[in-house]
Amino acid sequence: MLKVVGVDLAGSPNRVTGLCCLDSRLSCELARAKSDDEIFSFVQEMDPMLIAVDAPLSFPISGGGFRKCDRELKKMGVKPLPLTLRGMRMLTERAIKLKRVLKELGYEVIEVFPSGAQKFLNLPSKKSGDKDLRDGLLSLGIRRIPREIDIHVLDAITCAFVGLLYLKGKCIEVGDPVEGVIVMPRPHENKK
């Protein structure tokens, strides 16, 4: 059975990282973590085929705040934050380290962008509230989402769902392999 772990990574281990393991039956196991060790433990316990991370996994080669993949997403109506912001630099540094360790452990790691993916999948935005986004994810067929859930875990569920779509060949890759690629669902395609 296919399993994907979605990680809504926080820039600091003092903040909550949302985690979701989603299987091919769309049943999810959810967790919250703070430290890198807690993230690694969850991943190793779930032993997924793929890890989909909501965080930049590279810096711009030519400097500036945006990579080619970020600029391409902007043209598609998605608004990534510039990597020159202090919080985004911290997040990217943590994500690069996390990716390196996960790859050393033998896992494939991709970068995803859940708020953009939610737009491409016609899901309610975070601005409409956690309940609406939860209901939208349930409408995709995802099971075992508790009533009380925070946005970090909802984003982790979205990350994992995009990872499953990627394994099924239902995604596009934006950017280039040298500077960085963001995996996105094909815009407004049938979700399942």
Q: What are the pLDDT digits (tens) for 50-89? A: 999 999 999 999 878 999 999 999 999 999 999 999 999 9
Instruction: Identify whether 33 is part of a domain.
Output: yes
Q: How many Cβ atoms sit within 10 Å of the Cβ of residue 177?
A: 8
Assess contact for 42 and 5: CB atoms under 8 A.
Answer: yes
* pTM for the predicted model, two decimal places: 0.95
Instruction: Identify whether 106 is part of a domain.
Output: yes
Q: How many Cβ atoms sit within 10 Å of the Cβ of residue 36?
A: 15
Q: What CATH number did the domain enclosing 152 receive?
A: 3.30.420.10
118 class by beta-carbon count within 10 Å (0-12 exposed, 13-18 middle, 19+ buried): buried
Domain around 124: 3-185
The CA-based diameter of the chain, rounded to the nearest angstrom, is: 44
Classify 89 as helix, strand or coil: helix
**Six token digits for residue 146:** 């508790």
Give the pLDDT confidence score for residue 63 in this predicted structure: 79
pLDDT in tens, 81-130: 999 999 999 999 999 999 999 999 999 999 999 999 999 999 997 776 78
Instruction: Identify whether 128 is part of a domain.
Output: yes
Q: Report the domain count for the chain.
A: 1
Instruction: Identify whether 190 is part of a domain.
Output: no
Q: How far apart are CA 160 and CA 23, in angstroms?
A: 9
**Six token digits for residue 118:** 């939610």
Best CA proximity match to 57, nearest among 105, 4, 9: 9
User: Cα-flanking dihedrals φ and ψ of residue 88, to 5°?
Assistant: -70, -35
pLDDT in tens, 12-60: 999 999 999 999 999 999 999 999 999 999 999 999 999 999 999 999 9
Q: How many Cβ atoms sit within 10 Å of the Cβ of residue 159?
A: 31
